[in-house]
Chains A and B, each alone.
Chain A
Amino acid sequence: MRNGKFAVTVEGVSQAFGPEGDPRRVVALESASLEVARGELLCLIGPSGCGKSTLLNLIGGLMTPSAGEVAIEGERVRGPLPKKIAYVFQESALFPWRTVLDNVKLGMAFQGVPRGERDERARAALTTVGLADFADHYPAQLSGGMKQRAQLARALGLQTDILLMDEPFAALDEQTRMVLGEDLSELLARTGKTIIFVTHSLVEAVFLADRVAVFTARPGRIKTMISVEEGHPRSRAFMTSDKLGRLRNQLYELLHDEIRKTMGDTRP
């Protein structure tokens, strides 16, 4: 697995919270294995608490797995890799005391970009997400969709090959979410970044992903991988196509029982 053919390799990774033997110990993730090719968009979908965000944090090096191994470009992950991986979080991860531009530049300062390059790169990233005119606004002055675009700009400014997105559009309304999904698909087509995207939305998963990893209820395991064979950028036409509908229904069938399980429902 060390030949670096894949952008991300996850092998037999488990994660438990709480000490062994404690009745409250929670196994969030159980022996997950997957590979993500360069330039691929992989969606993780599953019921609440199935460990999909945990897996994302393990890949990003924000947590260390209880068992198994995560590798980025063939190298084992031992901590955050800011030069290779950038994050987009669900919400409120922008620093409210800094302007949008300064948020993007601060990320670069953390990453170690020389001072002289930051301004130009930050403005370019803001232009990419269509926020060039809002560089001097504070996050509180932006709508939810704009905040997430600003977060995306911050991640893009880091110029990493891999982007990890933890339910980035979950707090947004359906329409805004679709538009941002289209933009993301276009970005993927243009830059060839590798993206891992956690979501709750069936439609979002099918619309964005090259492959969808479906998780079981806790303890989370990867139940199935579904391939969506459709090139990027994806258009509105794909959103309304029969193909998307079919895949969405398939996904729903797979998830339905798992979601019942998380609600304590044992009906056959």
Chain B
Amino acid sequence: MSGARLVYRVTQAAFVAAVILVWWLVSRNGYISPILLPPLTDSVHEFVLLIERGAYWPDLSVTLYELVVAFLIASTSGCLIGYLVSRSRFAVRVFDPLFAGLYSIPAILLFPLYVLFFGLGPGSKIAIGATIAFFPIILNTIAGFDYVDRSYITAARSMGASGLQMFWSVMLPAAFPVVLAGLRIGFILAFLSILGSETIASLSGLGHRIVSYAESMDPAKMFAYIFLAIIIAFLLNAFVSTVEARVRRRHG
């Protein structure tokens, strides 16, 4: 690590430490009602208990299940439809602006409708996660395949590439980095919207648990779950970034 980067990291760590310190001081001396901001030590204690007892698993497993299913639906449909659209100039001209326009609408507004359709359980969360993740995935898939450098295609054609070889050896690897970026954004958005929608109307899941502890005036437990959600988000992000970096390394 170079000197400058070390300074950045130390400053970042100091900032986080300062936030924790402020919390600790403020909650300890009773400046803020413990209902709003419980003592840091209580929250940490609850978090340790939560991890030790494994009580988080039923909710975490529901949230992860929703995420996986929503992402599978969004990625298969987004990549497939995106690729088909990219095949025709006409379709790109028609659908690309259409999907871009739809992407800018806050899709969370569909959530009440989805609750009516799919109920309070995981169904409505999967639907909202898949809807929100679908747009960045399809838009990047269209962009990725549409902007493949013509010189790659011409070169492959001059060397006699068949249709199948053109797809597997040229189009797919050329479009892949852009498609991958769309998948990453879609994955993160699906996770965020699933957590968010769980806090609105749900029967279980991390978001559900956080709201229920807030409503039952048990903020230490609520923060324990928020810590857990932050850690999960961090791990998922690190996982996706690692996958992306590994694939991207090939592209110099």
Contacts and interface: CB of A to CB of B under 8 A. Distances in A.
A87 B251 contact: no
A85 interface: yes
A107 B159 contact: yes
Contacts of B252: 96, 138-141
B176 to A, nearest CB: 8
Contacts of A92: 149, 151
Interface string B238-252: 000000000000111
Given A92-B149, A109-B165, A139-B252, A97 B158 contact: no
Nearest to B151: A93
Interface residues of A, number: 28
A80 B160 contact: yes
A93 to B, nearest CB: 4
A89 B155 contact: yes
A80 B174 CA distance: 22
Nearest to A61: B158
Given A80-B160, A82-B160, A110-B161, A93 B250 contact: no
Interface string A71-91: 000000000101101110111
Given A89-B151, A92-B149, A93-B154, A138 B250 contact: yes
Interface in B147-181: 149, 151-152, 154-162, 165, 169-170, 173-174, 176
A6 interface: no
A106 interface: yes
A207 B151 CA distance: 28
Contacts, number: 64
A72 to B, nearest CB: 13
Interface string A140-179: 1100000000000000001000000000000000000000
Contacts of B251: 96-97, 138, 140
A87 B170 contact: no
B252 to A, nearest CB: 3
A203 to B, nearest CB: 26
- Chain A CB within 10 A, most for which of B158, B160, B251: B158
- Chain B CB within 10 A, most for which of A89, A90, A96, A158: A96
Contacts of B156: 110
A93 B159 contact: no
A91 B151 CA distance: 8
Contact of A111 (B151, B160, B250): B160
Interface string A90-106: 11110111100000001
Given A95-B173, A139-B252, A140-B252, A87 B152 contact: no
28 contacts: A60-B158, A62-B154, A80-B159, A87-B155, A87-B158, A87-B159, A89-B154, A93-B151, A93-B152, A93-B154, A93-B155, A95-B152, A95-B173, A95-B174, A97-B174, A97-B250, A107-B159, A109-B169, A110-B159, A110-B165, A110-B169, A112-B160, A138-B250, A138-B251, A139-B252, A140-B251, A140-B252, A141-B252
Interface of B: 149, 151-152, 154-162, 165, 169-170, 173-174, 176, 250-252
